Amino acid sequence: MRYKLIISYDGTNYSGWQVQKNAPSIQSLIQNALQTVLRHPLNLTGSGRTDAGVHAKGQTAHFDTDIHFEPYRLRGSLNSLLPADIRIVDILPVAADFHARYSASGKVYHYHLHLDPISDPFTKLYCHQVFGSFDLEKLKKGAGYFIGTHDFISFANVKDEPQKDTTRTIKRLDIIEQKGGVRLEFEGNGFLYKMVRNITGLLLDIGAGRVQIEEIPQIFEARDRRKAGTAAPAQGLFLYEVKY
């Protein structure tokens, strides 16, 4: 049988989702917990990697087992073994051909910006604090340039994969006001490595007046990651949902 996990985690203390040789990762901790409970080796496959410091509300993964179990009991057992900053939200049986990564039809990411000049000690691990003069209306206007189907190679760290298809479709990029700042909601059919953080970084430069909105088409046309500025910090980013 194949099962899908829905996972929530605080990425602050981890090297990211993917297994690393010399650093703790979310994938390795969950995989080890599964092997402890089910008592056999297995591979846990995620919908995609998240970087060190990035969080998730709805990461998904799948695994195979011949062991019969009640999903809610396994969920309880796994959560009792896992650190408090990693939680299995649900376990669901799926078809044998389901794949956490390749069956996905889209993803939703949220990026949190704190715009109040006084930082909040209770949210600082989960948002990016913006200091200095900042024009939110410019950020909102700039966000519209990213909606639709584009070649996003200027906004992705893909130099080691020169043959990779870098065309993606962003269905929406909504700017939602919330206490102390805003939340950028990205929904698309897929995202390249660091694409959300790189787009957000450029929008931060636009809001701060370091880059003009009119430069965005030129950055797309350049097909050069170096033209798009610095990536936004990891702690503001959440993988909110994987769609199937």
Q: For residue range 70-83, list pLDDT tens digits in order.
A: 999 999 999 999 99
106-243 and 2-94 share a CATH fold: yes
Q: For residue range 157-195, list pLDDT tens digits in order.
A: 876 555 689 999 999 999 999 999 999 999 999 999 999
pLDDT of 161 reads 59
**Among candidates 180, 177, 152, which has minimal Cα distance to 166?**
152
**pTM of structure:** 0.94
User: CATH topology for 2-94?
Assistant: Alpha-Beta Plaits (3.30.70)
Average per-residue pLDDT for the chain? 95
pLDDT of 21 reads 84
Percentage above 90 pLDDT, the chain:
94
Q: Which residue has the higher pLDDT, 124 or 162?
A: 124
Q: Residue 128: what residue type?
A: H
**Which class is 106-243 in CATH?**
alpha beta
Rounded to 5 degrees, φ, ψ at 142 are -65, -35
User: How far, CA to CA in Å, does 111 sit from each of 121, 129, 185, 203, 209?
Assistant: 18, 12, 7, 12, 20
For the chain, the domains span 2-94, 106-243
Q: Which active-site residues does the annotation give?
A: 51
Largest CA distance in the chain: 58
